[in-house]
Amino acid sequence: MVNSFRRILCVLLSIFLLLPALNISAQTAEEKETLMRVSDSTTVVTGEGKKMELSPGAQFYGERNEDGSFRVEFNGDYFELSANEAEEEVLNEEQPAFVDEAALSQQLFPEGTVLSLMEGEQAITLLSDMMLSVNEEQTHAVIGNSSYLLEVPENTDPDPAMEESEQEVEESEPAIKESEQEIEESEPAIEEEEQETTAPAEPAYSFSEHKTFSTVSEHLSFYKKTKEGELVKQGELMPGVSYQLIREYGNWLEFQYGEQKAFVWKAAVEPVSQKELDELKAPEGQGTSFSINEDVTVYEQSAKSLTPIAHLLKGTKGEYHSVQGEWLEVHFAGRQGLIKKEAVDVASITAAAEPSSDYIKILLTNTSFYSNEGGSLTKLGQLQKGETYRKIRELGNWYEVSVGGKNAFILKEAAEPSQPGSVPYISDPDLQDLELISNATAYDNSTGSLVDIGFLLKGQKLNYISKAGNWYVIELLGRKAYIHGSAVTLDFNPLVNYFEVNQENVAVVVNNGGTLETRGYVEKGERYKRIGDAGNWHIIDVAGTKMYVWKKATLPVGAPANISDQASGSRTLTLELDATVYDNSTGGLVPISMLQKNQSYNYISKAGNWYKVIVAGRTGYIHKDAVKLEFEEEDDYFEVVQDNVSVVKNQGGKLIDVGRLVKGQVYKRIKDYGNWHLVDFGKVQGFVWEDATSPFRGSELPTLSGNGPESVYFTAKEDLGVYDNSSGELVNIGEIKAGSQFGVISQMGNWYEINFSGRKAYIYSPATELNASRVVNARERVYTYEEMVNDLQEIARMYPSFTQLTTIGKSVDGRDIYAIKLGKGSKEVLVDASTHAREHMTTNIVMTMLDNYAYSYATNQYFEGMNVPKILNETSIWFVPMVNPDGVTLVQKGHTSAKNPQEVLRMNNLSTNFTSWKANIRGVDINRQFPADWDNITNNSGRPSNKNYKGKAPLTEPEAQAVANFILSRDFKAFASYHSSGEILYWHFNQTNHYARDYALARKIGNITGYSLVSPLYDSSGSGASQDWFIRQVGKPGFTVEISPYVVEREVPLYYYDRIWNQNKIIGLVVADEAKYY
């Protein structure tokens, strides 16, 4: 609301500043142009080759060509719009005013400048630098005789366009050379490079010398440069990873991945040592092109894990150098990486169908493979002749391979390159550790039979993937192999996050001051997540409580399929009984743990009779019969768990029963109040005993009350049933005791909608008695159309037996024109107000009349000496408190309240000050619209304006039509129309019959108000006023009551309210009382 208000102020100020620079002149008939409005988004090219993007709603004045297209000229240039791109706007005034561009200055504006309509909607975006006509403050520009707000784009760093540094940049690509590692064929040992034993001083690095950089920020984007010079994002670099650069390129660094060149912003990286990249020695050579079909991460493989080094976006091009099972080897900025084959366009992997050098076939019997840890070869096992395996790479006379997550080496002479066999190969990362306590044969089981494919020596530690019965699945040179559990001992390492219980009744304990106390048990055969390691214990999270499980009763395993990463929840329950926790992921209840009673735990939510909890990463459910919930401060709802729970109020320290709640129903509480809930219970705050309820934390709440207006109250004449109707049937949810008072939100037939302790509920209205009260607050304040509508609806709800609220028509902008009948009399009179927009003080007076008369009638009282019940039982008063709602709202809220703000601004000479506006929103004076000597009206403005324009014919405006039709549909005995100003009373319009009758009532009104009667001289200048037409058409007394001392052409000041009210407060009753004689 505040931001909208500020924006409106800014627009108003901008228009105010623009006025001195604008020369408004009437357009002659020869200069007459067409107002056109853009209907669809389009891009236009001007005669000088400039481009603009036009949004729907942009409007211009221009010429209409013979083929229906439009030509718009501006600032010596022009553009054209087809008949499909724009449509002619119908003008209500015959000769609209235009902006003289010659009176403005010329200014060049950059591409990207946005021009907006007065209401703030974007209309034009410049796609080229362009010269525009602007006001002195450069806040507005004029195109096609239409004024627009300017929004000039700001320059930001870094500049998205890459600029070359002034120094020459060599275009030749630096060759990346790999130092060959010689391996003596006679000496199978693989030498590792010696490491420095002392840390040297931290050197200073530079991009030009070391050609290596590392990122200093998260998610650093890199780009390619198109032929058009545009930067297109290709992906992101990872923090802390070093990359090889080709050259510095102004404010950018150029690097290479595959055969692609890319650029990264220099300020976001720092130069680092090239030592790490020298050690990696990523090979050179051209690869096979591919296109990425989904966002993908590039990994680098180390001994135990895959480390992300970059992220590539969908559509990025690249090259791969080899296929390794489910992975493609790629070269990325001096690093050797892997990406998932499934993320690449399969059609581009042409090498996949050819013989692959990523696989080898064993040629010799009992071929040994070795580790090279510590720089010496250690035999790990043997491979079977004729079997095919996957290699990592060639290294001199050796093939580097992987065995159980460890790197190993095989002499080249013992194998040859081969295509992959039909057996399954493994691409999943290894997770768990095992140690071989005896030599173990490795078997393939892909055919359903165990086939010996290798032999492993005892004493080595390997990673295994999974456990199947008594067998462990490992990776053997890319193959899935099985070794028997008898040869294995398991070990939990920091990377193992899950365990399986392999004993019965394994306790879950807490550490209470150094003493282990049992809190429950976990189930044999079930898998759980651990959050840490404490010596011989797993640390687990049980519903928000840290607990421990004995390691020796478990085995390390992979993640179970039903594991959950959901937090344990913030709400608390207490177990009254030992509770079994069940898994329900398969659709059946499977016990996964038992928790002991008298302990408190966090839970996530309640679903039916079950509470959802997280036990060691598993989603579980506890039945409500084992649970006692404690109320917490943030609990907003409660469920009644006992029969006939009372709602009481505190009256002088004594608890008085005011209602009851129903078992099983849910209600809203205001807050916790010791052992009580504080609830909303009609006109009082009620209290409900907490022990008779339980916190409700389910997701399916009952239908809650919208807390609508409750200015109308009733008193229960007897004990009342309260009902919910959300299901389409009446369901009892409580009771209101006789004498209790509640507010009415709405009425539906014989039912009142109420707020019953937060519930949307209904009670039977004939069993109640309405409490009358005054509603309208219009004293010394701007009283809006919206406030008036709300007050009319409340009065109608409060007094349904003697009021009738209806609408008699709609305004130009679609606002309802309301009429309300007050009283039960068979005769009727009419009182209206605010026919003229600036005269909206009359609505304040007439609405206050209605409010006071209704209250006095309901309470059977006199008002200011007038017997209201007697008068309204004989004569009913119809009030139309705002004839011109569009005009009143324009005066009060400005041009943005209109559906066509540009049009009302133009009619008001671009001024945003509408305080003198009398007409409706189309610039027609409603009180010159009635057929009472309409042809003879003088001082007609001749065109739509703020006042005096009578229109093209009588009763063309919907507001005038609504009043005339309403008068003709009833048999009104008198009519009083309230206007301002001057404290005078018009009462005569050339009538010859009933002169004495009308004069007598006019003199009575004049005596009460102190207003002067206008002399009844024949007026040959015409009228058009509703009161004059009523006198002529109906033949009954009609009056125009001009309130307030004369205030020239403006709104009546609020400080006159008390004076005006005291003069007019009984006039409606006086007119009704006299009308009984007509």
Asked if residue 157 is part of any domain, the answer here is no
What is the rounded CA–CA span in Å between residue 1076 and residue 633? 64
The H or E element that residue 1064 is part of is helix 1057-1064
pLDDT of residue 304: 62
Asked if residue 917 is part of any domain, the answer here is no
Beta strand extents in 7-83 (DSSP E only): 24-26, 34-38, 42-45, 51-54, 59-64, 70-74, 77-81
Q: Could you report the per-residue pLDDT of 656-691, keeping only the tens digit for each? A: 999 999 999 999 999 999 899 999 998 888 999 998
Give the pLDDT band of residue 285 (cuts 50, 70, 90). Answer: low
What is the rounded CA–CA span in Å between residue 125 and residue 980? 47
Please tell me whether residues 791 and 763 are part of one structural domain: no
Is the model's pLDDT at 187 over the cut of 70? Answer: no
Domain with residue 822: its CATH number is 3.40.630.10
Please tell me whether residues 344 and 364 are part of one structural domain: no
Is the model's pLDDT at 162 over the cut of 60? Answer: no
Asked if residue 999 is part of any domain, the answer here is yes
Residue the block writes with tokens 């009460």: 1008
What is the rounded CA–CA span in Å between residue 740 and residue 768? 10
What is the rounded CA–CA span in Å between residue 435 and residue 458? 8
Please tell me whether residues 50 and 146 are part of one structural domain: yes
Q: Mean pLDDT, to the nearest integer, of 2-12?
A: 45
Q: Which of 85-99, 326-340, 495-509, 544-558 has the lowest mean pLDDT?
A: 85-99
Q: Could you report the per-residue pLDDT of 440-451, keeping only the tens digit for each? A: 999 999 888 999
1044: left (phi over 0), alpha (psi -120 to 50) or beta: left
pLDDT of residue 14: 45
Asked if residue 196 is part of any domain, the answer here is no
Give the pLDDT band of residue 159 (cuts 50, 70, 90). Answer: very low
pLDDT of residue 853: 98
Residue of higher predicted confidence among 183 and 72: 72
Please tell me whether residues 322 and 408 are part of one structural domain: no
Q: Is the peptide bond before 158 cis (omega within 30 degrees of 0)?
A: yes
What is the rounded CA–CA span in Å between residue 775 and residue 602? 49
Domain with residue 330: its CATH number is 2.30.30.40
Closest residue by Cα to residue 403 from 387, 388, 389: 389
Q: Is the peptide bond before 981 cis (omega within 30 degrees of 0)?
A: yes
Q: Is 667 exposed, middle or buried (0-12, 13-18, 19+ CB in 10 A)?
A: buried
pLDDT of residue 712: 78
Give the pLDDT band of residue 354 (cuts 50, 70, 90). Answer: very low
Please tell me whether residues 882 and 824 are part of one structural domain: yes
The H or E element that residue 1071 is part of is helix 1067-1075
Q: Mean pLDDT, to the nearest integer, of 759-774?
A: 90
pLDDT of residue 9: 42
7-10 long-range Cβ contacts below 8 angstroms, 24+ apart: 7/120, 8/894, 8/896
Give one DSSP letter per residue of 70-100, joined into a string.
EEEEETTEEEEE-TTTEEEPPPSSSS-EEE-
If one counts every other C-beta atom within 10 angstroms of the C-beta of residue 537, the result is: 18
Q: Which of 661-670, 741-750, 754-763 has the lowest mean pLDDT?
A: 741-750
Give one DSSP letter per residue of 97-163, joined into a string.
EEE-GGGSEEEEE-TT-EEE-TTS-EEEEESS-EEEEE-TTSSEEEETTEEEEEEPPPP-SS-SS--
Is the model's pLDDT at 372 over the cut of 90? Answer: no
Q: Final residue of a domain: which of 743, 771, 799?
A: 771
Count of domains in the chain? 6
pLDDT of residue 711: 65
pLDDT of residue 849: 98
What is the rounded CA–CA span in Å between residue 147 and residue 150? 10
Q: Which two tokens stand for residue 303?
A: 């001994």
What is the rounded CA–CA span in Å between residue 704 and residue 1? 26
Beta strand extents in 944-1028 (DSSP E only): 972-980, 984-986, 1012-1013
Strand partners, 436: 488
Tell me if residue 248 falls in helix, strand or coil.
strand
Please tell me whether residues 1003 and 1022 are part of one structural domain: yes
Is the model's pLDDT at 856 over the cut of 80? Answer: yes
Please tell me whether residues 28 and 80 are part of one structural domain: yes
Give the pLDDT band of residue 430 (cuts 50, 70, 90). Answer: low
Q: Is 918 exposed, middle or buried (0-12, 13-18, 19+ CB in 10 A)?
A: buried
Asked if residue 955 is part of any domain, the answer here is no
Give the pLDDT band of residue 476 (cuts 50, 70, 90). Answer: confident
Residue of higher predicted confidence among 733 and 476: 733
Highest mean pLDDT: which range of 34-43, 46-55, 769-778, 975-984: 975-984
pLDDT over 70 percentage in the chain? 86
942-948 long-range Cβ contacts below 8 angstroms, 24+ apart: 942/94, 943/93, 943/94, 943/95, 944/92, 944/93, 944/907, 944/919, 945/93, 945/907, 945/919, 946/907, 946/908, 946/914, 946/916, 946/917, 946/918, 946/919, 947/916, 947/917, 947/918, 947/919, 947/1049, 948/918
Q: Is 250 exposed, middle or buried (0-12, 13-18, 19+ CB in 10 A)?
A: middle
1017: left (phi over 0), alpha (psi -120 to 50) or beta: beta
pTM above 0.75, yes or no: no
What is the rounded CA–CA span in Å between residue 835 and residue 1025? 10
Is the distance from CB of 994 to CB of 1078 less than 8 angstroms? no
pLDDT of residue 86: 83
pLDDT of residue 355: 43
SS3 sequence, 606-664? EECCEEEEEECCEEEEEEHHHEEECCCCCCCEEEECCCCEEEEEEECCEEEEEEEECCC
Which residues have CB under 8 Å from 546's CB, separation 6+?
510, 531, 539, 540
Q: Mean pLDDT, to the nearest integer, of 282-294?
A: 73
Q: In b/e form, how buried is each residue of 756-780, taking b as 16+ CB within 10 angstroms? A: bbbbbbbbebebbebbbeebbebee
Q: Mean pLDDT, to the nearest integer, of 267-278?
A: 83
User: How far is C-alpha 2 from the geometric centre of its chain's CA atoms?
Assistant: 19
Q: Mean pLDDT, to the nearest integer, of 302-312?
A: 81
Is the model's pLDDT at 1017 over the cut of 90? Answer: no
Asked if residue 185 is part of any domain, the answer here is no
Q: Could you report the per-residue pLDDT of 1038-1052, keeping only the tens digit for each? A: 999 999 999 999 999
Is the model's pLDDT at 867 over the cut of 70? Answer: yes
pLDDT of residue 168: 34
Q: Which two tokens stand for residue 290?
A: 């591919």
pLDDT of residue 356: 47
Please tell me whether residues 877 and 1003 are part of one structural domain: yes
Q: Final residue of a domain: which of 771, 800, 824?
A: 771
Q: Which of 65-79, 337-351, 1012-1026, 1057-1071 has the lowest mean pLDDT?
A: 337-351
Which residues have CB under 8 Å from 662's CB, separation 6+?
640, 732, 733, 734
Q: Final residue of a domain: which of 87, 117, 151?
A: 151
Catalytic, out of 73, 300, 903, 1042: 1042
**Cα distances (angstroms) measured from residue 538 to each of 14, 288, 408, 763:** 69, 48, 33, 60
The overall average pLDDT reported for the chain is: 84
Please tell me whether residues 392 and 334 are part of one structural domain: no
Asked if residue 164 is part of any domain, the answer here is no
pLDDT of residue 286: 61
Give one DSSP letter per residue of 670-704, joined into a string.
SEEETTEEEEEETTEEEEEEGGGEEE--BS---PB
Closest residue by Cα to residue 804 from 769, 840, 854, 843: 854
Amino acid letter, residue 817: I
pLDDT of residue 655: 92
If one counts every other C-beta atom within 10 angstroms of the C-beta of residue 1060, the result is: 23
What is the rounded CA–CA span in Å between residue 619 and residue 625? 19
Give the pLDDT band of residue 352 (cuts 50, 70, 90). Answer: very low
Q: Which two tokens stand for residue 47?
A: 């005669």
**Could you tell me the sign of the dihedral formed by the alpha carbons of 886, 891, 892, 894, in that order?**
positive
Q: Is 665 exposed, middle or buried (0-12, 13-18, 19+ CB in 10 A)?
A: buried
Closest residue by Cα to residue 960 from 808, 756, 764, 778: 808
If one counts every other C-beta atom within 10 angstroms of the C-beta of residue 1003, the result is: 13
166 in active site = no
What is the rounded CA–CA span in Å between residue 970 and residue 821? 12
What is the rounded CA–CA span in Å between residue 116 and residue 122? 4
Is the model's pLDDT at 164 over the cut of 70? Answer: no
Closest residue by Cα to residue 668 from 640, 649, 645: 640
**Cα distances (angstroms) measured from residue 900 to each of 11, 118, 378, 710, 755:** 16, 10, 88, 36, 40
Q: Could you report the per-residue pLDDT of 684-718, keeping only the tens digit for each? A: 889 999 989 988 988 888 888 876 666 678 899 99
pLDDT over 90 percentage in the chain? 46
Q: Mean pLDDT, to the nearest integer, of 812-836?
A: 98
Closest residue by Cα to residue 1007 from 907, 916, 1074: 1074
Please tell me whether residues 563 and 686 are part of one structural domain: no
Is the distance from CB of 1063 to CB of 964 less than 8 angstroms? no
Is the model's pLDDT at 1021 over the cut of 60? Answer: no
Q: Is 37 exposed, middle or buried (0-12, 13-18, 19+ CB in 10 A)?
A: middle
Please tell me whether residues 291 and 401 are part of one structural domain: no
Closest residue by Cα to residue 1034 from 806, 830, 825: 830
Strand pairing class (875-880; 827-833):
parallel
Please tell me whether residues 268 and 215 are part of one structural domain: yes
The dihedrals phi and psi of 1017, each to the nearest 5 degrees, come to: -85, 150
Amino acid letter, residue 76: G
Q: Which two tokens stand for residue 87?
A: 């449509």
**Domain extent for 253:** 207-353
Q: Mean pLDDT, to the nearest integer, of 885-894?
A: 98
What is the rounded CA–CA span in Å between residue 122 and residue 496? 57
pLDDT of residue 565: 85
pLDDT of residue 157: 37
Strand pairing class (1038-1043; 972-980):
parallel
pLDDT of residue 820: 98
Is the model's pLDDT at 121 over the cut of 70? Answer: no
The DSSP call for residue 863 is B
pLDDT of residue 146: 75
Asked if residue 163 is part of any domain, the answer here is no
